Amino acid sequence: MKTYKIAAVNGDGVGHEIVPAGMQIIEAAAKKHGFKVESETLLYGAGHYLKHGAFLPDDGLEKLQEFDAVLFGAVGLPEVDDRLPFKDFTNLVRTAFKQYVNYRPVKLFDGLKSPLRNKGQEDIDFVIIRENNEGEFVQSGRTMYGDTPEGFAIDTNIFTKVGTRRIAKYAFELARKRRKHVTNVTKSNTMIHTLTLWDNTIEEVAADYPDVEYRKMYIDAASANFVLHPEYFDVVLTTNMLGDILSDLGGAIMGSLGLGGSGNICPERNFPSMFEPIHGSAPDIMGQNKANPIGQFWSAALLLDHLGEKEAAADIMKAINKVTASGTLTAELGGTATTTEITAAALTALA
């Protein structure tokens, strides 16, 4: 029997409720489809930082590398400087494990209405492919004399042709499996050096895919069209920061950030990939059994799909749609269901 080792990293806040729920879904899918899952819970995150002064132990990355994949919740607590979780955990893992693809799907589930008037399931179904290791979030910069009137600060974006080419290739290969359309979301009319290199490199890759329709769209126009014409999009290829913003907008047009799943993927599989919902740690509702676990379930489906268990992943997605179609919803979607009730409904639908 095929066996997969999965690290369950709850993180902080509602992560302690939704990651265990996600592992229940994975284990149920494994039982149904004839493979085995061995999991270990690792208590990394801001809670670990408060106790030990670091978001993960000295051998934390080495420990994570022992696993086939990581199911992650969210990181951050009000008591911890909010500049630290990305630098000292999320980005650390993404770069150390060369997870240069951030995969964030957007689609409308059965039984749900989008906040967008007159837009339905046929209109809202696309994937945001965000470059995950370079761009605006490399944190190359410094602050000088910040506490004086003449203080200044610099952040430098870094784009490489190698990094841009590999994420573009991933996006075009994905488009071939979908509706054969890639939109490059950029802002090269103002960031004339870095994003012109980005655009030119993507155009070079596009020439290798004559069967895939390609177009360029500036971020301001793309933001408007996400709301007015989400049907324009199939595979959205964009930079680290622009993708971070657009994926939250994508979650909003689905109806809730609690619905969105994502993957931080190392396509070459030299390192484990990490899968997480797009929302944050939501410390204001932690421990109250109110968190929506569907984004975690979708992340679990993406994890299994990445491992090659495509039928199990598809069954999880069918189960999610059965739950939403039944009207079993959490409060932010107008329902009254708890985290445990959504989980139980999903497990029943999966079975």
Q: Is residue 189 part of a domain?
A: yes
Number of domains in the chain: 2
Q: Is residue 264 part of a domain?
A: no
pLDDT confidence of residue 326: 95
Instruction: Please report which confidence band the pLDDT of residue 48 belongs to, taking 50, 70 and 90 as the band edges.
Output: very high
Main-chain dihedrals φ then ψ at residue 63, nearest 5 degrees = -65, -45
Single pTM value for the model: 0.95
Domain boundary among 222, 254, 286: 254
Say yes or no to pLDDT of 310 above 90: yes
Task: For residue 227, give Cα distances in angstroms to 115, 233, 246, 262, 322.
Answer: 9, 11, 11, 21, 26
* Cβ neighbourhood burial of 103 (10 Å; 0-12, 13-18, 19+): buried
Which of 40, 56, 36 lies closest to 48, judged by CA?
56
The kind and range of the H/E element at 114 are none
How far is 202 from 237, CA to CA, in rounded Å? 9
pLDDT by residue (tens digit) across 65-99? Answer: 999 999 999 999 999 999 999 999 999 999 999 99
Q: What does the mean pLDDT of the chain come to?
A: 96
Say yes or no to pLDDT of 301 above 90: yes
**What is the three-class DSSP state of 158?**
strand
Which of 174, 189, 180 lies closest to 211, judged by CA?
180
Strand 3-11 to strand 181-186: parallel, antiparallel, or no bridges (unpaired)? unpaired
Report residue 49 as tokens: 């930082």
Q: Is residue 66 part of a domain?
A: yes
Domain of 328, in residue numbers: 1-99+270-351
Q: Are residues 1 and 119 in the same domain?
A: no
Mean per-residue pLDDT for 228-253? 97
Q: Are residues 299 and 175 in the same domain?
A: no
pLDDT confidence of residue 140: 87
Alpha helices by DSSP H, 111-218: 161-177, 194-206
pLDDT confidence of residue 294: 97
pLDDT by residue (tens digit) across 116-162? Answer: 999 999 999 999 999 999 999 888 889 999 899 999 999 999 999 99
Which of 55, 111, 47 lies closest to 87, judged by CA?
55
Q: Are residues 117 and 241 in the same domain?
A: yes
Which of 293, 325, 267 lies closest to 73, judged by CA?
293
- Helix 294-306 / helix 310-325 crossing angle, nearest 10 deg: 160
pLDDT confidence of residue 20: 97
**What is the three-class DSSP state of 318?**
helix
Mean per-residue pLDDT for 94-105? 98
Q: Report the percent of the chain where pLDDT is more than 70.
A: 100
Q: Is residue 262 part of a domain?
A: no
Q: Are residues 226 and 277 in the same domain?
A: no
Q: Are residues 171 and 204 in the same domain?
A: yes
Say yes or no to pLDDT of 51 above 90: yes
Say yes or no to pLDDT of 328 above 90: yes
pLDDT confidence of residue 25: 98
pLDDT by residue (tens digit) across 277-294? Answer: 999 899 989 999 999 999
Q: Are residues 21 and 56 in the same domain?
A: yes
Q: Are residues 152 and 226 in the same domain?
A: yes
Mean per-residue pLDDT for 231-256? 96
Q: Are residues 226 and 329 in the same domain?
A: no
Instruction: Please report which confidence band the pLDDT of residue 257 belongs to, taking 50, 70 and 90 as the band edges.
Output: very high
Mean per-residue pLDDT for 226-247? 97
How far is 294 from 301, CA to CA, in rounded Å? 10
Residue written as tokens 């890639």? 182
Instruction: Please report which confidence band the pLDDT of residue 1 belongs to, taking 50, 70 and 90 as the band edges.
Output: confident
Q: Is residue 55 part of a domain?
A: yes
pLDDT by residue (tens digit) across 185-208? Answer: 999 999 999 999 999 999 999 999
Task: For residue 221, give Cα distances in angstroms to 137, 183, 225.
Answer: 22, 12, 6
pLDDT confidence of residue 299: 98
How far is 15 from 280, CA to CA, in rounded Å? 9
